[in-house]
Amino acid sequence: MSVKTQATVSLIINFLIAAVTTGIIISYFFTESTFIKSTTEIFRFFTTDSNILAAVAAVVVMIFDIKIIRGKTEKIPQAAIFFKFAGTACLMITFLTSLFYLVPMYGFSFIFGGTFFHMHLTAPLMSLFSLCLFEKSDRLSFIKSHLAYVPMAAYAAVYFVMVNVIGEANGGWRDLYSFGENGIVFITIAIIAEDIIVVNLLRIAYNLGIKKQNKQSDSNN
């Protein structure tokens, strides 16, 4: 498959990710839900935040896809790839958490039904496939790839403070994911392990087929 063909496929997939995600986020302001108490509360969910991050990353990659198609550049810059990598990692955390943690609590039809079908399933898979199959650029180094933990850690820190330090009674957040009820220590360890596994496997999957750089370049990364 030629570079321009890959860029075209990437452009289509990223457009779908960005467009559908944007449409769903907007729809939340015009629909009622017994699960969400207020429209602004949607931004407290990691599902929403990870999908927004991935949608923005998709738009950034689209810009370079267009440049490749027009012959203005030959590949997507590593900074843009890393942005997409971080967004994809967050989406895979969303997907796996939904599948193995939320489904047993709420049921498959709820967690993967309605708008959640895109937010919990199709967006993560589209982002994964476009990144690993159609957006190859320079290899992602072990050290740099682990910066993808930053958005996850930032969300976890805010969630912990708002739920456990401030508390809902004092203006904080309710425990949206019922971590307190299901054992916060166990859940925390499980999530950290999940993050590590996802980031490392995603880096390996992305690097497949990309030739290794010279030793000096690798050492600088």
Residue 213 has pLDDT above 60, yes or no: no
Residues across the chain = 221
Q: Which residues contact 168 (CB under 8 A, 6 or more apart)?
A: 174, 175
**Distances in whole angstroms, Cα of residue 185 to Cα of each of 38, 98, 173, 193:** 29, 19, 19, 12
Answer for the pair 79, 102: CB distance below 8 angstroms, yes or no. no
The pLDDT, as a whole number, for residue 37 is 67
Radius of gyration (C-alpha) of the chain in whole angstroms:
18
Express each pLDDT in 54-92 by its tens digit. 999 999 999 999 999 999 999 999 999 999 999 999 999
Stated pTM of the model: 0.90
Q: Which residues contact 19 (CB under 8 A, 6 or more apart)?
A: none
Q: Range with the lowest mean pLDDT among 1-10, 198-207, 210-219? A: 210-219
The share of the chain scoring above pLDDT 70, in percent, equals 93
Residues 189, 194, 199, 203, CA torsion sign:
positive
Q: Report the SS3 class of residue 86.
A: helix
Report how far residue 194's alpha carbon sits from residue 93's, in angstroms, rounded to the nearest whole number: 7
